[in-house]
Amino acid sequence: MLYKILTVAGLATFEIYAAIPAGFAFGLTPWTIFFASLAGGIVGVFVAAFLGGAIEKLITRFRKPKAVPKETKPNLAHKLWQKYGIIGLGFLGTFTVGAPVSIAVGVGFNVNMHRLATWCCIGVLARCAVFTLLGYYGTKLL
């Protein structure tokens, strides 16, 4: 039982979309799935937020610099940032692409990490609640 919970939490560190269905496949209760995925998601936020600089330095040491393109079409992250600011990047970005990706984009935009981590944690909480409820009621329909 403990290994199943730790597996769900470990999967949620990287991607909640994989953790919640795995919890239901393991036969865990919805509350256990919710709290395990919430704990794993929050750990993922803090690992990405506060160890992101060290990880970035490690990656750039082995990568050659690329030429900067002149003008590119703004992607989803730029649109969220321009329209909704730090709340859009933290909360909506966590819902759409995940917290580690939102944190990485925030590092690129030079955002205040404490505020971004707070909004990403709120996004992880909402995301875990919504997808656990969807999974619970979806399994009830089967």
Give the model's pLDDT for residue 2: 93
Three-state SS for 83-103 is HHHHHHHHHHHHHHCCHHHHH
Contact of 16 with 98, CB cutoff 8 Å: yes
Question: Distance between alpha carbon 108 and the CA centroid of its chain, in Å?
Answer: 16
Give the model's pLDDT for residue 69: 62
Give the model's pLDDT for residue 108: 80
Q: State pLDDT tens for residues 83-99.
A: 888 888 889 888 888 88
Separation CA 135–CA 140 (nearest Å)? 9
Residues of the chain predicted below pLDDT 70: 65-72, 74, 76-77, 80
Nearest partner of 90 among 127, 117, 126, judged by Cα: 117
The pTM for the full model equals 0.82
